[in-house]
Structure 1
Amino acid sequence: MPVVSDVSINTVEFRASSIDVSTEKLTQILEKAAKDAPRWYEVGAPKFRKMVYEGKTPFPVPPLLTNAQDATVPSREPGRNIWVRFYTPDNGKRSKGVYLYFHGGGFVMGSHKDQDDMLKTFANSYRLTAVSVGYRLAPENPFPAGINDCVDVAEYLTDHGPAVFSAPLRVIGGSSSGGNFAALTTLQLMRTRPQHRLDAVLFVNGFYDLTLNLPTTVQRRDSVVIDREMLEKFIEVYAPGASVETLRSPFMSPLYEDLQRLARESPFGTLPPALFTCGTADPLLDDSLMMSAKWMASGSEAVIKLYPGAPHMFSAFKGFKVADDVAAVTMAFLNEKLAD
């Protein structure tokens, strides 16, 4: 009888022959856009953000939807509030929970106001009040400003969600650097609000090891959207002067958290169910492979779905097959976890 591995990988997803024509086309479009755009660290973060919203980069200006609303949540800092933007179901169905989302952008770019399309999709597809957090950005506000904002909002919604939104906090998610914040926030809630059980956590091409020492970030392979140099620049301004040992702190890099201990000490005995999604051409691929494996090793449910040849943030490009595929997987996973 052959020896069966305790861990398995679907190697088909890593073959070049598995990359479909639609994904290749998306990569070509992003390569051209990246070639024609300045890098944020060449012009400075504030100027680059302004260029994005003025339509002066090859990427479209994020739309603002009239049904999205703005509100504030108290910060741990006296006299300061945190902006959030939320969308409640507008299809006549009652919200049955809150989905808390942390946007990407390398801790430097992006805004809670960039997510209206996604918020609407989650609100109407899953009957959730979808909330995006306007956390503070580097370099103006380096670590721990951004993650403190995310934790503050999550704890507030855990305590006051039913009163504020007529629904409890049920799902947390994040993309790229927002995936880092989603992991850190979820694990912090397990410490400070142990009796609150999330139904699901959604991790989209997350950034879980800020040391940049995993192979796919070290190898400097050709990639679009982000590369090794850009990741280094993000870390330089998010955690200026931080040593590798500092970056390895589990309060910065969730990959180094003792997940087995957290699960063991939880009254539920496990971490919340998690869905990890990532493209195989993403420099952060190993982050997802390692983090999902550790999640499973804690005795908790984790599903990882890989997309052949897909670049970083591919899921944002609706209409391409690979983006539609990951949307379908997310829908199936959430429908299962949110079933009444």
Structure 2
Amino acid sequence: MTGEPDRLTPGARTLVDLMASAFPDLGGAVTDAVEARRIIDALPRPPVEPPAVGSVEDRTVPGPSGSPGIPVRVYRPDAAPGPRPTVVYFHGGGWVIGGLDSHDDSVRELCRTSGAVLVSVDYRLAPEAPFPAAVEDAYAALLWAADHAGELGGDPDALVVAGDSAGGTLSAVIAIVAKERGGPALALQALVYPATDSAQDTRSYRANATGYFMEAGALRWFWEQYLGPDGDGGHRHASPLRTGDVSGLPPAHIVTAGCDPLCDEGRAYAQRLRTAGVPVTEAHYPGMFHGFFAFPGLLADARDALTGVAEAIARTAKDRKNGGDHGGSAG
């Protein structure tokens, strides 16, 4: 922010200032990924019970050829009748930080609110495993979830990819990869403030460069770690907005925040899909910041956004029963 009126809601401003005071200066004072993870892992966690779900199980599933197995965490809702939508969830963290534990509360909330089975994926992180390692892990996990949906209590015909930030990017990319590689068929891609273009040259990147928690400099640092010295940021598996043909991709539900550097590219991807005939619903929150989705207990907009994603997931099972009508688009 540079002298302009604050566009965050008052509750969001309080939270942003608190987080910014504790979060490492990524790409500035902190440039080492291992050190960044150490600092973030040492941050105090609120002493609250995690949201209750029916069951939680840690497993390891086969990775892509030549790689180690992929840790996943399977969340099942209460014992209501199934089968249910099966959601493969990819966590945020700029492809550099984060994991099963960092997003445990968010995935629990989504499981409980949607009534779906969720498979949270601990894909390999950069810079140790740069692009496209995370993409290949994500696709391998999707294949496993599709093959084991019945065992998990899920519906293999209501298969969803979902994620926030870098995980939203992976979800968009995996929808493209599944189309290219002949499946599995997806009922929905739920993208929460995804990065869709490595160019980082939008109006929102400039308008929200500083003062709104996740700053443009940190996002550039994440891209540098992810791509490494030889990565192609223009490749469609890195920047889904640059995909030549997005027709035939699964319906999308896309969440964006007005005070997020990634806002414009998320909205541009929604429009790109819509123009190609893909059903799209959008949920845009002008007074929110990158990361707000993780705070449904503190922010009304976060609760609304989570409920919207959960309802979009739940609709996939209803749509299947009603003959596959996913509905139209909303802006």
TM-score of the two chains, using structure 2 as the length reference:
0.84
Return the alpha-carbon distance in structure 2 between the equivalents of residues 328 and 166 of structure 1. 20
**After the TM superposition, which of the residue ranges 146-155 and 330-339 deviates more from structure 2?**
330-339
The correspondence of residues 175-186 of structure 1 with structure 2, limited to 5 A, is 175-186=164-175
Decide whether aligned partners of structure 1 residues 276 and 228 sit closer, same or farther in structure 2, where only a CA change above 3 A counts: same
CA deviation map 1:223-260 (0-9, x unaligned): 422111111111111112247xx311112100000234
- Match 1:143 to one of 126, 131, 147: 131
The correspondence of residues 1-340 of structure 1 with structure 2, limited to 5 A, is 23-41=9-27, 42-43=29-30, 44-55=32-43, 60=46, 67-78=55-66, 80-163=68-151, 167-168=155-156, 170-194=159-183, 196-219=184-207, 221-242=209-230, 246-260=232-246, 263=247, 270-319=248-297, 320-339=299-318, 340=321
Decide whether aligned partners of structure 1 residues 61 and 101 sit closer, same or farther in structure 2, where only a CA change above 3 A counts: farther
Return the alpha-carbon distance in structure 1 between the equivalents of residues 34 and 47 of structure 2. 16
Return the alpha-carbon distance in structure 1 between the equivalents of residues 294 and 143 of structure 2. 28
Higher normalized helix content (fraction of residues): 1
Decide whether aligned partners of structure 1 residues 62 and 154 sit closer, same or farther in structure 2, where only a CA change above 3 A counts: farther
Return the alpha-carbon distance in structure 1 between the equivalents of residues 206 and 141 of structure 2. 34
List runs of 5+ in structure 2 lacking aligned partners.
322-331
Q: The residue matched to 2:282 in structure 1 has which SS?
A: strand
Structure 1 counterpart of 2:302, which letter?
Answer: A
Q: Contact conserved, 1:94 with 1:127, CA < 8 A, in 2?
A: no
Return the alpha-carbon distance in structure 2 between the equivalents of residues 247 and 147 of structure 1. 13
Higher relative contact order (CA 8 A, sep 6+): 2
How far residue 101 of structure 1 moved from its aligned partner, in angstroms, is 0.5
Decide whether aligned partners of structure 1 residues 332 and 227 sit closer, same or farther in structure 2, where only a CA change above 3 A counts: same
Decide whether aligned partners of structure 1 residues 54 and 61 sit closer, same or farther in structure 2, where only a CA change above 3 A counts: farther
How far residue 272 of structure 1 moved from its aligned partner, in angstroms, is 1.3
Structure 1 counterpart of 2:34, which letter?
Answer: P
Return the alpha-carbon distance in structure 1 between the equivalents of residues 17 and 169 of structure 2. 25
Decide whether aligned partners of structure 1 residues 165 and 149 sit closer, same or farther in structure 2, where only a CA change above 3 A counts: farther
Q: The residue matched to 1:259 in structure 2 has which SS?
A: coil
Structure 1 counterpart of 2:13, which letter?
Answer: T
How far residue 301 of structure 1 moved from its aligned partner, in angstroms, is 0.3
How far residue 115 of structure 1 moved from its aligned partner, in angstroms, is 2.5
**After the TM superposition, which of the residue ranges 94-103 and 248-257 deviates more from structure 2?**
94-103
Q: The residue matched to 1:247 in structure 2 has which SS?
A: coil
CA deviation map 1:245-287 (0-9, x unaligned): x311112100000234xx3xxxxxx321111111111110111
CA deviation map 1:91-139 (0-9, x unaligned): 4443423111100001111002222223333333333211110001112
Decide whether aligned partners of structure 1 residues 61 and 197 sit closer, same or farther in structure 2, where only a CA change above 3 A counts: farther
Q: CA RMSD in A?
A: 2.6
Structure 2 counterpart of 1:291, which letter?
Answer: Y
CA deviation map 1:133-187 (0-9, x unaligned): 0001112111111111101111222234334555426111111111110011011
> Highest Rg: 1 or 2?
1
TM-score of the two chains, using structure 1 as the length reference:
0.82
Matched residue pairs, number? 309
Structure 1 counterpart of 2:241, which letter?
Answer: L
How far residue 68 of structure 1 moved from its aligned partner, in angstroms, is 1.9
CA deviation map 1:6-37 (0-9, x unaligned): xxxxxxxxxx89x78xx322223212321343
Q: Contact conserved, 1:217 with 1:284, CA < 8 A, in 2?
A: yes
Decide whether aligned partners of structure 1 residues 94 and 284 sit closer, same or farther in structure 2, where only a CA change above 3 A counts: same
Q: Contact conserved, 1:223 with 1:282, CA < 8 A, in 2?
A: no
Q: The residue matched to 1:171 in structure 2 has which SS?
A: strand
Structure 2 counterpart of 1:81, which letter?
Answer: G
